[in-house]
Amino acid sequence: MGISIRNKVAFITGASAGIGKATAFALAAEGARLLLCARSTDALTAMRDDLIAAGAADVFPFALDVSKRTEVQAALQQIPVEWQDITILVNNAGLARGLEKLYLDNPDHWDEMIDTNVKGLLYVTRAVLPGMVERGAGHLVNLGSTAGHMAYGGGSMYCATKAAEKMLSEGMRIDLLGTPVRVTSIDPGMVETRFSEVRFGGDKERAAKVYANTTPLTPDDVADAIRWAVTRPAHVNVSNVLLTSITQANSLSIHRTA
């Protein structure tokens, strides 16, 4: 049998939409207490009643930009004491910017992706993980990507940040040997969210073409994998879940209908 996460604090970054939002609902169904952050609390606050109705024991939303180290440290020190014993951390916050050849790309895009996808993951993990080790309980879930396994044209920096996530997850798993804290990397392929719209600066038409004539994953598919991983028996560590839809084999091989 798996473990229960009922009444356990699950902290999800980037929880206002997409995979983060779907994960909040998946863990709500398991009775978790949900600690949710995003850059703005508007969407999180609007979700609260629905999450409670879905089974969440409680919900605490707060604003946080994970790319700001001092902001992360301060925010996590200032949350109410009853929310500080975090059992599950889902490092979901992340983004891509542009799809340009590296030598022509805007360096501001590099900074934003590195600051959010790599540094943000590190800042939040550094603030939360010591408490898990001290309490002898915890599960760290990092959102990776097929892009961390195989590069694609125009995505060099994004792929590099997801390759960094893959190596960080592997290194953390080694560092945590001898503790009960588990580390899982969830690495999806194409998921139909606002990801491509953000990547292309709000260009919905261009974003739609990414998923045209194919069957991408949904946020619920990824959230289901996360829920499965965090509810395995305590001695089982799901190191990595690499998942794509049936129409995608890897970052480059995608079947599209006519």
Classify 112 as helix, strand or coil: helix
Sheet holding 58-63, edge to edge: 58-63, 33-38, 9-12, 86-91, 139-143, 182-188, 240-243
Residue type, 113: M
Question: Active-site residue 158, yes or no?
Answer: yes
Among 103, 123, 152, 158, the active-site one is 158
Cα 140 off chain centre by: 10
**Interaxial angle between packed helices 156-175 and 121-135, expressed in degrees from 0 to 180 and rounded to the nearest 10:** 10
Strand partners, 240: 185
d(CA 214, CA 147): 18
d(CA 226, CA 224): 5
Who contacts 38 (Cβ-Cβ below 8 Å, separation ≥6)?
A: 13, 14, 15, 16, 17, 20, 44, 61, 63, 64, 93
Per the CB < 8 A criterion, the answer to whether 35 and 60 are in contact is: yes
Number of H helices, E strands in the chain: 9, 7
Active site members: 158
